[in-house]
Each structure stands twice: as C-alpha cells, then as structure tokens.
Structure 1
Amino acid sequence: MKKLIIVFAVFLSCAMNAQNQRFVYEYKFISDSTAKNEVKTERMYLDVSKKGSKFYSEVKYIADSIKEDRLKKGFRDLTGINFNFIPFVVEKSYPDYKNFFFISLSLDRFKVSEERPQTWKIMTEKEKIGEFNAQKATLDFAGRKWNAWFVPDIPIQDGPYKFHGLPGMIVKIEDQTNSHSFTLKEIKKLSEDWASESEKKSFSNIIPVNTAQYKKQFVENRNDPTKGLRQMFASGRKLMMVDESGKPLEQQTILRMREKEGKEQNAKNNNLLELDLLK
C-alpha cells in the first residue's frame, strides 16, 4: 500500500504533463453462475497516454512478448507460454473517448466500435477505496447494473474496460451481483507510449463491425462452435491433429471434438461480463 501511495503522489504531480501512466487493476469474475464460489482473478493494465488509453491483460502482455521474442529469433516452438488469459483489448481515444473493442472469434479478429452511451448517475455517497477518497456513481450497461467509485483528484475521465465519462478516474467498479469487479491496485509511470508499432501488429487484418454486428457473430459462433473449422476446411486449409497413438484424426472427428468442447465451455461460461450478449 505504501508503494501505491508514493506512486499516486508522483502521478498527481505529473498527470497534467501528459506523461504515460499504467493503472493496474485486479479483475475478479465468476464465469459460471452455478459455481459462485469459483472466483477467478486476473491483473489488467490500463495504459494511459495523451492521445488515449488501452486496456488489456497482464498475462496476455507477457505471452505476446515471449512469442514475439521467439519468432524474432527464428523459433516457432511456443510451448511453455501461458495463453490462458482474458483475450479482449479495449482502446479509447482522447478527447472524444471513441471506444473500440478488439476480440477474436474462432478464426476471425474483430474491431468493435462501441456506440452505446454510458449515462452515469453520480451519487452523494463517498467511500475510502484503498488510499483514495472516492465518490460513488451508478450505471446500467451491457445487461448489468454497475456501482463505481471515482476520484476527482485524478483528472482523467477513464477507467477499466469500456467504462469512462465520470469526472475523475474510476478506481473501483463492480456489478450488483458481485460477479465482476475491477479494483485499482497500482499506478506506474511508463517510459514509452502504449501505442507502439509492435503492439499494433497483434491486431492486423481485423474486421470492423458495430455492436449489433458483433453480437450476431458472437451468437453464431457460440451456437456453432465448429463454424470456424468448417470454413477453414472448406477453403482447402488443413489442420493436423493426432490421437493418443499418434494416428492423424479425420476432419469429421476433429469437428465432433470441437463441438463437444465448445458446448462444454459455453455451459461453464454463462455469466458473461456483457450479459446482454446472451439475450
């Protein structure tokens, strides 16, 4: 906590000088509503620069860095890299706060423009969040009711995930079912702007869509886990998989395995952050 206090003080002294900052949030979530005791945790980065922000997983950042380093050295072996991370990236531009959500569905990568307004209701209630004197605000967004705490002393109208628009940085936000929460844990100074060319390459060849178009794609992929594989096979591309004896699997066997796996994943992933995707 002392580290947070010190870094916070440094941040306040230089915030208006447009120095690059990293806000580290702890994301806690329950992906299966039938197993509420199974709370998952992941550290998330909100990198802020003069022109905008980028929100993404710390584990993703580490995995991408290791992968890029190996590929630069000519190594194609990616074993040992942890690819089990929150997959999405959210970028916001300043000062208009245009909001873009980057995600992969099956074999496609999408850039989703977020048009839904965030109509906050600022409350009089105040609370101590860590070392911050924060004020409460509420919001209905993406099928959930959210309670947020923001700090006017941090003059940035931003926050984790897609959340923004309050008169100060959001240091904590949670939905009313306690299924999803983001809490600020640390603030760091960055030596470089987050929007480096190497990071931009990770989302090349993307398909731009709006929220309605993305929801359609999401539902189709969720209802048909084999959609991407069938499209790949239809285009003539091949996927090599073997059984326990080392014998290559036929396409139909691979499709059955993927369908079974997808349905099992969907059954456990029923408590999405954006709950209205399932409605």
Structure 2
Amino acid sequence: MSFVSGQKYRFVYSYMSIPDTLNKNNIINENMVLEIDKDKSVFISQRKMISDSVMAEDAKKGIMTMPDENINTRYIIVKKYPDFKTNLITDEFSTSYRFIISDDRSLHWVLLPEKRTIGNYECQKAELDFAGRKWIAWFTEEIPFNDGPYKFKGLPGLIIEIKDLSNSHGFQLQGMKKIEDKSVPVIIDEKKKIRSFTFKDFVTFYKEYRKDPAKEFRQRVLSGDVYYESEEKRQEHMKLIESLRKERVKKDNNIIELDLLK
C-alpha cells in the first residue's frame, strides 16, 4: 500500500492485557483501531467504534440502543497534529460526565540498531520508559506516520508492535486500509457534560477514585437523584454497588499506566 499525505488510513491492532496480577490466566484480547487523518489520529476500541456508530444512527430514528456490553477498553485517545497534543476521553469514572484528560508528557525513546521483519515491513527496535513500565517497540519507516497505539508517538515511522517487559500489555498491528466513505465513522458523544483535567490533576482524582469508587453514586442517592421504594432497599442497593465497585477496582491492579497506582 502506498501512503499519501492528507488521506485517511485505518490501522487495526490486537491489544492483549492482563488486568489482575493474581489471575494471570485471565488474558483480555481486543481489537483496537488507530484512525489517522490529516490533522489528528483517533485510537479507539473497534467494538466501541461500531457500538457508538449504531447508537448514533438509531438515535436519529428515535430508537434507544444500549452500548455493547463486551467492550473492554472504553477510552478514546485523540492526538492532534502536528504537535501530537494528546487527550484521553472517557466516561469510565462517571455516569454524568465525560472526562477529557490532557497529557503533555514527553516520550524519551531510545533507538536501537536491532532490526527484524514483521509481516511485509522491515522494522527497527526502540525502548521507552513510560508510566511505570519499560516498553519494547518495533517501528517501520516504510509507513511514514510518527504515531502508534495508545499514547505512543514520536518514532520515525508507525509502531508495528509494542509491549511491556512483563508481557502484561501489548499491541500488534493486524491490518490497515484507506478509509472509504462507507467506513464506520468514529463517534465521540458530545451530549455529556465535560470535566477537563490536566494529567497532574487526573492523577490526584484517580487515586481518590480508587479509594472510593462509589462516591459519585452515593452522592446521587443522598441528593435524591435515585429513587427507592424504601430506606431498606436504598441501603441494600448502596451496599451492593459499593461492594461491586470496590471488587472491580481490586481486580484491576495491573493497569497500563502502572505508576498511577503508586
């Protein structure tokens, strides 16, 4: 495939992750999409992209459709060119707000002389210390985009493969194509209220969230936003939600940005 500046391209990566260090047999596999346009790139779960598109089309017809329950990765990452300003967009932490988290951290790659062929592309090795993990990447100058999966960027070509040394998280390019008009569009929900964070402010929020993941729900209940038939049912449901969310956080102990847990 030849690559022309200004055209749209879609790259599909497989994403492997192990969310719980105490259950390493629970390996999550998901296809992710990196869509590159002339002024930005968008990185999103393929399932989420399709689900969001279906919901948007159904909404135009007055039909309410629920999101795909099998989506594992719910964030969207947008990198704006040419400076690669990076925003992570997510509704994972709130039912009322869509978070936009700006991340201006620099990536300090170390290019290594080692080369290997992956698929049809000659690739070069690079190393990176980022977010509490050491990463090994393979990139190719034959695909002239200084981009890659997740927040990875800044190499002299597209990242074909990247994984951390513990093999807890890894991305592998599976395929690519030029974007046609009939392709599924990337949908970013604009209806929710927005909370914007610098990365530093988000770190503070995230640490508090992990200590009390049911805080927002509890506040909604106490303010009367959630109705219950009796005080007994209210207390019972609140305890259930708090228990479920604390258990979910407990099992999510091997996140991609490991230093957020420090």
TM-score (norm 1): 0.86
- Residue equivalent to 2:213: 225
1:170-192 C-alpha deviation (Å, 9 max, x unpaired) = 01100000000000000011125
1:76-117 C-alpha deviation (Å, 9 max, x unpaired) = 3538x4353311110001111101011221333211110211
Do the aligned residues in 1 keep the contact of 2:101 with 2:199 (CA within 8 Å)? yes
Do the aligned residues in 1 keep the contact of 2:14 with 2:30 (CA within 8 Å)? yes
**The residue matched to 1:277 in structure 2 has which SS?**
helix
Are 1:164 and 2:165 an aligned pair?
no
CA distance in 2, matches of 1:272, 1:230: 25
Q: 2:40 aligns with which of 52, 59, 70?
A: 52
- Residue equivalent to 2:128: 139
Per-residue deviation, 1:130: 2.1
CA distance in 2, matches of 1:274, 1:268: 15
- Residue equivalent to 1:110: 99
Q: 2:108 aligns with which of 112, 119, 125?
A: 119
* Count of residue pairs brought into register by the alignment: 260
Q: 1:260 aligns with which of 238, 243, 246?
A: 243
Map 1:205-220; keep pairs closer than 5 Å: 205-220=193-208
CA distance in 2, matches of 1:40, 1:178: 12
Map 1:241-256; keep pairs closer than 5 Å: 250-256=233-239
CA distance in 2, matches of 1:261, 1:131: 46
**Identical positions, percent:** 38
* Partner amino acid, structure 2, of 1:169: L
- Residue equivalent to 1:5: none
CA distance in 2, matches of 1:235, 1:188: 50
CA distance in 2, matches of 1:253, 1:120: 51
TM-score (norm 2): 0.91
Q: Per residue, is there more helix in 1 or in 2?
A: 1
* Partner amino acid, structure 2, of 1:28: M
Per-residue deviation, 1:205: 2.2
* Partner amino acid, structure 1, of 2:49: Y
Structure 1: gaps (5+ residues): 1-8
- Residue equivalent to 1:3: none
Q: 2:25 aligns with which of 12, 37, 56?
A: 37
CA distance in 2, matches of 1:239, 1:166: 52
RMSD: 2.4
CA distance in 2, matches of 1:254, 1:137: 50
Per-residue deviation, 1:201: 3.3
Are 1:180 and 2:169 an aligned pair?
yes
Structure 2: gaps (5+ residues): none
Do the aligned residues in 2 keep the contact of 1:225 with 1:258 (CA within 8 Å)? no
- Residue equivalent to 1:70: 58
